Structure 1
Amino acid sequence: MDSDAERSGATRRDAIRYCGVAGVGALAGCAGSEPPEGPNSTDDGGNEAGSGDGGSDGSGDSSADDGSYTASISPTGEVTFESPPETVFTRLTHHAGMAFALGRGNDVTALHAPDYYDGLWNQFVERLPGVSLDWSGLYSSWQPDKEKLYELNSDVHLADPAWITRQDAWSRDDIDEIGERVSPWFGNSLSDRHQEPPAEWAEGYQYYGLWEQFEIVADAFRERERYEALAGVREDLLATIEAGLPPESERPTAIMIAAADVEEIYAYTLSNPGFLTSHTRPLGPRDAFEGSVESGTVVDFETILEADPDVILYLGGFEPGTDMAGRRAAFEDDPVGSEVTAVRNDRVHPQGARYQGPILNLFQLEMTAKQLYPEAFGEWPRYEEGPYPEIPEAERLFDRQRVADAINGDL
């Protein structure tokens, strides 16, 4: 571990210079003064407008004569890179998923619950020819230790410093120290459900849609071509979905839940602003709870039966250790749960994760479209275990090979 004396010298990462907007780790030599706000948008099929004025192009990508370039994201501000980052610290899986989509999945140095998400993500990676991913054994960064960040010595911290400072162990000074002496922070997480940022980060905090932020991150990695290839797949997928959606009055009612056992069932919303609903909001199912249940609320079988959804979406159903057959049986064997319409009609379906990167988002859009609207988009196979089902090619809503080529850089 580096000593304090060693840390007081030159920065740990000469390849990247960190320039903060709103007072974050400003260093001499940072180029430009473009604002951190990204563009307002209707990304992910819903209103993703941010709190900034939307007057900049978000990425702030520009190049200097010496080959360096800048990118900007809220809340960090503008960062000047001498070269694209290679090793990547992440905390949440929407950021790890962005690194993966840009061909750097195996260059991630840390993420929350790495073994769990390695297993979950690889259920989907299985369907991408020639693509591999290994997050097993990485540092678990839900509550990151500052000393560990020095040890990891990552080229960029793809994480939201505003969220990091919610933890007692981290101050604004600690954020600045890592940004200056190791490498910059470049990520946004409070856009997940448009959470209120801490007071010291609140001014100008911008909310981004999942793919809007992915575009900014791609520019920071100098991966515009990969981003555009994947964005094209998404545009085609959303066009297919839009063309096939039935009128709102004919759509099923649905709920999303997560539970390790039936004693504690958490319910989650399907259409609120933020990237956590980027795979359900474009599909427009009717909320069986009719807005009466907030995300994270604990519900029981009686509450679910009162809502009586046509479809139940079960978060974490694709995790390799999850027993989907057992979770369905828990409803079927209960005198109240067995009366729910979704249970009686065998429409209790698995989901992956809400903190999804771009690739998982594509799979989850396809999967959820089939689970909600089988008449329009083809039947969803009854899933109990194993990788994402092998959908016949004629029934797929997006091209796996196009996605694999983009990740592998075969453009």
Structure 2
Amino acid sequence: MSRETDGEHVSTRRRYLTYGAIVGSGMLAGCSGAMDSDGESTTTEETETTAATTEAEARTTDEKTTTAESGYTVSMEPMGSVTFESVPETWVPYGGDYADMGVALGQADGMTGIGQSGEYYTDVYDELPGVSVDKERVAANDLVEADMSKELFYEMDCDVHVIDTGMLRNWFDWSESDIEEIRENVAPFLGNMIFRRSDGWHDYRFYTLYQAFEKMAALFGERERYEAFERLHDEFVGKIQSEMPPADERPSVFLTYEGTDEPETFSPYRLTDKGTSKKQWRDLGVADALSGTGIENLSTQNRSELDYENLLEIDPDVLLIRGHEEKSAAEFRDTVLGYMKDHPVASELTAVRNGRVYRGGYLRQGPIHNLFLTERAAKQLYPDEFGEVTSDARLFDRQRVADIVNGDF
């Protein structure tokens, strides 16, 4: 859809009034104690569920949504305060985490595109009556497939872009003038990369999954839905934690990425990195098999890989491999685990011998995803308490989730 007048792009719709500076007080605030050390140990008491009270106490006045004279304001690093004159009707997220937040808040119909459609997993919605996403429509506007073309932003003509501008600068070589152009001519940016905390360029505040979710609820005016999800989440995870085995009986876990069916090398993830992609493992109180090894978390700067000899030195109780989310648990065991059992070196690993090699979960998860991934992880780690991962055991109420999404709560 072309909207050019005299050679200049002209927006047909303005849903925001003011925009906080990208560089300024917001970023400075994000540097003051917001970062967590990648090497810091994580205990059961530091899980996100147990930390819910701490999160609430940590919310400061400048982080809260405020009401402007002719609209409302949402404040989120690194963009600062963004004031909207009305609730956005159309929007585009970069990742599946924010996409899932929007679905949870009843905003699926307004999602116009996404950063990477192949990494947005929607199969879980099939288990929720009345919940769905038009994946074809969203995939038609894949930002990464379009090389993050500014023209696509003009064509989508969204009311808000739920994208961390730091990602645009550091991953896609956008300049400040590129960001300003789209902000001025199309719509503002609001978002924060939350799935990992190991990138040096992210020197502003991070958010936990539910802190970011709360910001999206403020954006869409869906506080009640957010609170309903928060209650469900806290009850669900709290019940699981009450039934977990003692800490000294829990397995050591190595989380990695390798997307092939015949893996030979593995990219390392540290569970002590407090990004949202590891939330279920922290909530389930597992020990990081890489603790004390000096091996760093995968990041923009670190692209190292480990081979089977390296894994034998670590020899984790459980091996979790990302990159296989389109497979069922049974398909994964037939292919990836089957290959490793026949491998002359991999077959020596404790996790392989005991059949404890599993899918590692999504890189970007939202609140609905997290419920399903936590259920799966509980069965992967503690089958005696919660059932085998290949079983149909359900640990949370699907209908209750669907009711919240559909506004019946």
Write out per-residue CA displacement over residues 71-109 of structure 1, whole angstroms, 9 at most, x where no aligned residue.
110011111112111211121221112112112234322
Corresponding residue for residue 262 of structure 1: 263
In structure 1, what residue type is equivalent to 2:378? A
> Is 1:350 the equivalent of 2:348?
no
Q: Is the deviation greater in 258-267 or in 124-133?
A: 258-267
Change (3 A) 1:347 1:320: closer
Corresponding residue for residue 369 of structure 1: 378
Change (3 A) 1:294 1:238: same
Corresponding residue for residue 88 of structure 2: 85
Corresponding residue for residue 385 of structure 1: none
Local SS of the residue matching 1:338: helix
Corresponding residue for residue 30 of structure 1: none
Deviation at 1:351, TM superposition (A): 3.2
Change (3 A) 1:39 1:132: farther
**What is the number of residues matched between the two proteins?**
379
Change (3 A) 1:59 1:328: same
Aligned partners of 1:107, 1:7: CA distance in 2, in Å? 26
Matches within 5 A, 1:27-42: none
Deviation at 1:404, TM superposition (A): 0.9
Gaps of 5+ in 2: 37-45, 299-303
Change (3 A) 1:277 1:212: same
Aligned partners of 1:321, 1:245: CA distance in 2, in Å? 25
Corresponding residue for residue 140 of structure 2: 138
Local SS of the residue matching 1:404: helix
Matches within 5 A, 1:3-82: 3=4, 5=6, 7=8, 11-22=11-22, 44=48, 56-57=60-61, 59-64=63-68, 66=70, 68-82=71-85
Aligned partners of 2:59, 2:263: CA distance in 1, in Å? 48
Change (3 A) 1:55 1:402: closer
- TM normalised by structure 2 equals 0.83
Aligned partners of 2:366, 2:249: CA distance in 1, in Å? 30
Deviation at 1:161, TM superposition (A): 0.7
Change (3 A) 1:126 1:380: farther
Deviation at 1:158, TM superposition (A): 0.3
Deviation at 1:256, TM superposition (A): 1.5
Matches within 5 A, 1:331-350: 331-350=340-359
Local SS of the residue matching 1:279: helix
Deviation at 1:8, TM superposition (A): 6.4
> Is 1:301 the equivalent of 2:302?
no
Q: Is the deviation greater in 347-356 or in 174-183?
A: 347-356
Corresponding residue for residue 42 of structure 2: none
> Is 1:100 the equivalent of 2:99?
no
Contact 2:95 2:119 in 1 (8 A): no
Matches within 5 A, 1:149-228: 149-167=153-171, 169-189=173-193, 192-197=196-201, 202=203, 205-228=204-227
Matches within 5 A, 1:241-260: 241-259=240-258, 260=260
Aligned partners of 2:216, 2:197: CA distance in 1, in Å? 19
Change (3 A) 1:289 1:55: closer
Change (3 A) 1:57 1:327: farther
Write out per-residue CA displacement over residues 354-383 of structure 1, whole angstroms, 9 at most, x where no aligned residue.
21111111111111112111223x11233x
Local SS of the residue matching 2:388: coil
Deviation at 1:298, TM superposition (A): 1.3
Deviation at 1:267, TM superposition (A): 2.6
Corresponding residue for residue 29 of structure 1: none
Contact 2:131 2:406 in 1 (8 A): yes
In structure 1, what residue type is equivalent to 2:217? A
Percent of paired sites with the same residue: 34
The structure where helix makes up a greater share of residues is 2
Write out per-residue CA displacement over residues 267-299 of structure 1, whole angstroms, 9 at most, x where no aligned residue.
322232222211111112122233423233412
Corresponding residue for residue 322 of structure 2: 315
Write out per-residue CA displacement over residues 182-228 of structure 1, whole angstroms, 9 at most, x where no aligned residue.
11101000562153336xxx5xx211111111101111110111111
Contact 1:43 1:211 in 2 (8 A): no
Deviation at 1:6, TM superposition (A): 6.4
Aligned partners of 2:358, 2:59: CA distance in 1, in Å? 42
Aligned partners of 1:271, 1:133: CA distance in 2, in Å? 33
Corresponding residue for residue 404 of structure 1: 402
Aligned partners of 1:375, 1:348: CA distance in 2, in Å? 16
Change (3 A) 1:239 1:321: closer
Aligned partners of 1:315, 1:213: CA distance in 2, in Å? 23
Contact 1:106 1:135 in 2 (8 A): no
Change (3 A) 1:101 1:7: farther
Contact 1:256 1:267 in 2 (8 A): yes
Deviation at 1:262, TM superposition (A): 1.3
Aligned partners of 1:36, 1:187: CA distance in 2, in Å? 16
Deviation at 1:263, TM superposition (A): 2.9
Contact 1:276 1:356 in 2 (8 A): yes
Write out per-residue CA displacement over residues 135-172 of structure 1, whole angstroms, 9 at most, x where no aligned residue.
23332223411111011101110010111111454111
Contact 2:197 2:275 in 1 (8 A): yes
Aligned partners of 1:194, 1:103: CA distance in 2, in Å? 32
Change (3 A) 1:93 1:57: farther
- TM normalised by structure 1 equals 0.83
Change (3 A) 1:354 1:103: same
